[in-house]
């Protein structure tokens, strides 16, 4: 018997005894269970971060977002355009120091492809009070298939440090019921974008 | 030659004078960094606690950078450099290979750290310790980090050289002790880590000078190759310190060298995959890559920690039984030296690291849970349980042995020292758990104002958040008190402490 600060003499590669062997076995089995859960949940879970990934030049993403805003704008709030895209369309949300553009008006139960990216630095997309979080990286378009399941008034808080105005960066998503009429002025142009899939 | 050594009256080890001095210098600088980071911690805590909301926004982010760099990089690494000298030269009765180079590396690290401190405190590097591009700091910041890292890499080289010297000069018989083996795995991981560091900081340094470009996603990928691997250095070093403290406090034995060493080796083998769990909700990486890497290929690094979590307490039990505490199932535990801060720190480090840090970490290393945890307070809640209540507390416990054994001073304020680990552990436990809960409500990390007072839209968190943030403040204040006591004891003992009797010169 020796301590961890003494040099073991002779051969120390010795068979493992009962209790320790059992523990290593249990621990390894547990690790395999955890490991199996990773792909299983990926296949069976309803909520995955995979998305549609593509590179995008920040300028190009800005242009797409502006085009998107022009097409579907229904108003303005605190200087930020409010858009109401038709169900099924590609929708764009751009983080920039220090705001989320635009405010989105979505329809409960409808499917959208949400494109997230940044015009400048890293930002953090955090949908509250749901608490759903994604990293927003400049140069990358994160396309997420989403279906709002609850009507209400939601916030997008930036949770990646993005400079001195980081804590001021908060956006808004409104989800309206299926029955509610479209906001005045909502145009019904065809979905744009999507060419980046 | 022999005049350069002294014989330690407690352990009988022959200690090289240069090893003595290098350990002292690195430990002292480490504690200074801990002090700077600790003051920042207090101010950050009192700002995140919205009732006080102490700092203005710019200083909040500035001191967040200061806290991250001083704690996670400077304090931890200087302390680990001291551990490397201890585990090589002291435990092997050897001289330090290349002492001049060792001092050069030490001063290089100090210089790098000072440059970084200067850039941070003058507001030239408000980029947090992750410095994600394209947030830009002054080139001096990246240069300071590079200098510091080169110094650390040289120390790692000296560590390996010392192992070779000891072997050649036959300063020990048999194999290297387990603690040295553990330190060696930490050193190997350090090489991998610093490789990633060079791969990312050199291009970023050039980019800050206007040369070339750095992709934001690639930066995150390679940076976390550095950022997470460095946490595995901390884990390996911490586990080595667990075995060390076990030996020093209760003479705990190594149950099976083979198992413990295999477990250390698993850390080395599966470490470079660790970057992945920071990138689970990033746009640039495919799910297969995320699943395979985040699970460290079958959770084999987690397996390593689970093994140590068994063998260290089992070794303590056996050590205690060999010392005669054999009655019943638990006499060994009841009669353990709970008043020895080295021992209590060891036990709390194991428990909080394993149960709070380990479990939170493994759970949000899954894709689905990461979606609800990423960049919320759950993340700092997790790592204050691992690297603070785990690694830092273990290092604190070790200090109570370094002061008499290396500094040859009596530990000052002994009654305070006895309770210090209890205060720090209890505080950190409350702090970490409260942060974790706050995170489950979506409270963001690294955030100056969750009342969103000046923001274009309002948002009100659940009222429960006020409660957990208050718990976080109370836990944090308790831990800071424990930390302050630790620093007071260390500084007083080292500079004004009563010297222990003169010892035998070898
Ligand atoms: C005395 C106890 C400590 C307290 C009360 C404390 C408190 C805090 C607080 C309030 C934050 C900010 C969380 C946020 O807003 O995101 C933080 C961040 C952090 N702390 Fe500590 N801390 C302590 C000790 C330590 C130690 C010893 C270490 C490392 C060894 C450490 C490493 C970090 C790191 C890496 C961050 C993240 C910085 C960032 O997000 O850029 N802390 N800590
Ligand atoms: Cu932002
Ligand atoms: Cu931000």
CA of A169 to the centre of ligand 3 (A): 6
Nearest alpha-carbon partner for A147 in A107, A95, A98, A97 = A107
φ and ψ at B330, to 5 degrees?
A: -125, 10
pLDDT band at A136 (very low <50, low <70, confident <90, very high): very high
Q: Give the pLDDT confidence of B320-347 residue by residue, as tens digits.
A: 999 999 888 889 999 999 999 999 999 9
Residue B285, token pair as written in the block? 């990486």
Q: Which residues contact B397 (CB under 8 A, 6 or more apart)?
A: B241, B245, B341, B342, B343, B344, B345, B346, B349, B421
Contacts of B179 in chain A (CB under 8 A): 4-5
Contact state of B295 with A13 under an 8 Å Cβ cutoff: no
**A134 vs B contacts (CB less than 8 Å):** 281, 283, 371, 374
In chain A, what residues touch B245 (CB-CB under 8 Å)? none
Residue in chain B closest to A154 (alpha carbons) equals B459
Please check whether residue B381 lies inside any domain of the structure: yes
Angle between helices B76-85 and B393-405 (to 10 degrees): 50
A109 Cα: distance to centroid of ligand 3 (angstroms): 30
- Residue B248 counted as domain residue: no
What pLDDT, on the 0 to 100 scale, is given for residue A185? Answer: 42
Got the DSSP string for A37-94?
Answer: HHHHHHHH-S--S--EEEE--HHHHHHHHHHHHHHHEEEEETTEEEE-PPTT-EEEEE
B92, pLDDT greater than 90 = yes
Mean pLDDT across chain B: 92
Kindly state the tokens that stand for B249: 């406090």
pLDDT band at A181; cut points 50, 70, 90: low
* Residue B473 is assigned to a structural domain of this protein: yes
Would you say residue B6 lies in a domain?
Answer: no
**CB proximity A18 to B under 8 Å:** no
Specify the pLDDT at position B367: 83
Give me the number of domains chain B comprises: 1
Q: Report yes or no on B434 lying in a domain.
A: yes
Q: At B289, is the secondary structure helix, strand, or coil? A: helix
**pLDDT-derived band of residue B163, with 50, 70 and 90 as boundaries?**
very high
Is B105 touching ligand 1 by the criterion CB < 6 Å?
no
Q: What residue's CA is closest to ligand 1, atom 20?
A: B68
The Cα of B33 is separated from the nearest Cα of chain A by a number of Å equal to 24
CA atoms within 13 A on the CB side of A162: 31
Count of pairs with CB atoms under 8 A, one residue in A, one in B = 265
pLDDT for the residue numbered B274: 67
pLDDT at A191: 29
Closest atom of ligand 1 to B483 CA is 1
- Say whether B11 and A49 touch across the interface (CB within 8 A): no
> Is B472 inside a domain boundary?
yes
Model pLDDT, residue B296:
63
Give the model's pLDDT for residue A167: 95
Q: Give the domain range for residue B500.
A: 339-345+377-506
Q: What mean pLDDT, rounded, does chain A reach?
A: 86
For residue A34, the distance in angstroms to the closest alpha carbon of chain B comes to 8
**Separation in Å, CA A192 to CA A76, A106, A135, B256:** 21, 16, 24, 65
Residue B285's Cβ-side half-sphere holds a number of Cα atoms within 13 Å equal to 26
Mean pLDDT value of segment A6-22: 87
> Are the C-beta atoms of residues B129 and B68 closer than 8 Å to each other?
yes
A19 with B314: Cβ contact below 8 A: yes
Asked if residue B407 is part of any domain, the answer here is yes
Burial B424-459 (b: 16+ CB within 10 A, else e): bbbbbbbbbbbbbbbbbbbbbbbbbbbebeebbbeb
Cβ burial, residue B168 (10 Å; 0-12/13-18/19+): exposed
């Amino acid at each position: 018997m020796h301590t961890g600060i003494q040099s073991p003499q002779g051969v120390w590669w010795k068979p493992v005894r009962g209790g320790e062997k059992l523990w290593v076995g249990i621990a390894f089995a547990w690790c395999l269970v955890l490991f199996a859960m990773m792909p299983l949940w990926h296949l069976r879970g309803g909520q995955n971060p995979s998305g549609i990934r593509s590179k995008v030049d920040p300028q190009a993403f800005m242009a797409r977002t502006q085009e998107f805003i022009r097409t579907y704008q229904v108003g303005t709030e605190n200087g930020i355009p409010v858009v109401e895209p038709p169900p099924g369309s590609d929708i764009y949300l751009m983080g920039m120091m220090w705001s989320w553009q635009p405010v989105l008006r979505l329809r409960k139960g409808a499917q959208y492809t949400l494109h997230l990216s940044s015009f400048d630095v890293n930002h953090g997309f955090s949908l509250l009070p749901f608490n759903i979080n994604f990293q927003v990286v400049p140069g990358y378009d994160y396309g997420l298939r989403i279906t709002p399941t609850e009507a209400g008034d939601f916030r997008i808080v930036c949770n990646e440090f993005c400079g001195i105005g980081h804590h001021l960066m908060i956006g808004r998503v409104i989800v309206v019921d299926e029955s509610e009429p479209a906001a005045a002025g909502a145009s019904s142009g065809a979905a744009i974008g999507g060419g980046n899939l | 030659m022999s005049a350069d050594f002294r014989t330690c009256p407690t352990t009988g080890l022959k200690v090289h004078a240069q090893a003595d001095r290098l350990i002292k210098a690195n430990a002292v600088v480490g504690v200074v960094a801990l002090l700077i980071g600790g003051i920042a911690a207090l101010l950050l805590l009192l700002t995140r606690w919205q009732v006080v909301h102490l700092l203005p926004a710019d200083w909040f982010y500035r001191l967040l950078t200061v806290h991250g760099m001083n704690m996670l990089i400077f304090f931890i690494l200087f302390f680990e450099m001291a551990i490397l000298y201890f585990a090589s030269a002291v435990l092997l009765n050897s001289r330090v290979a290349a002492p001049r180079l060792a001092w050069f590396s030490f001063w290089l690290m100090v210089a790098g750290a000072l440059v970084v401190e200067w850039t941070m405190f003058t507001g030239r590097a408000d980029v947090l310790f992750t410095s994600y591009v394209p947030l830009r700091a002054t080139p001096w910041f990246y240069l300071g980090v590079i200098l510091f890292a080169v110094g650390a890499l040289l120390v790692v080289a000296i560590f390996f050289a010392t192992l070779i010297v000891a072997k050649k000069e036959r300063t020990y018989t048999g194999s290297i002790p387990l603690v040295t083996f553990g330190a060696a795995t930490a050193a190997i991981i350090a090489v991998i880590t610093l490789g990633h560091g060079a791969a990312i900081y050199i291009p970023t340094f050039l980019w800050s000078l206007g040369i070339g470009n750095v992709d934001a996603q690639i930066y995150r990928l390679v940076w976390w190759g550095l950022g997470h691997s460095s946490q595995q250095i901390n884990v390996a070093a911490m586990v080595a310190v667990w075995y060390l403290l076990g030996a020093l406090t209760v003479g705990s034995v190594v149950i099976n060298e083979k198992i413990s060493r295999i477990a250390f080796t698993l850390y080395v083998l599966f470490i470079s995959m660790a970057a992945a769990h920071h990138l689970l909700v990033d746009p640039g990486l495919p799910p297969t890559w995320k699943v395979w890497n985040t699970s460290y290929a079958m959770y084999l690094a987690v397996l390593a920690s689970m093994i140590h979590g068994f063998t260290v307490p089992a070794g303590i039990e056996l050590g205690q039984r060999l010392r005669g505490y054999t009655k019943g199932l638990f006499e060994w535990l009841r009669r353990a030296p709970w008043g020895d801060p080295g021992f209590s720190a060891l036990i709390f480090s194991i428990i909080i690291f394993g149960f709070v840090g380990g479990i939170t970490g493994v759970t949000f290393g899954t894709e689905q849970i990461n979606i609800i945890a990423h960049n919320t307070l759950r993340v700092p809640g997790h790592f204050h349980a691992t690297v603070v209540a785990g690694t830092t507390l273990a290092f604190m416990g070790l200090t109570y042995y370094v002061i008499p054994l290396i500094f040859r001073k009596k530990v000052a304020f002994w009654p305070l020292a006895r309770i210090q680990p209890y205060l720090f552990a209890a505080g950190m436990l409350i702090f970490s758990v409260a942060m974790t809960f706050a995170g489950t409500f979506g409270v963001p990390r690294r955030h100056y104002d969750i009342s969103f007072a000046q923001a274009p839209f309002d948002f009100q968190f659940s009222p429960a958040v006020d409660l957990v943030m208050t718990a976080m403040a109370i836990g944090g204040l308790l831990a800071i008190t424990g930390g302050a006591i630790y620093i007071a004891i260390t500084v007083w003992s080292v500079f004004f402490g009563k010297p222990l009797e003169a010892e035998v010169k070898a």
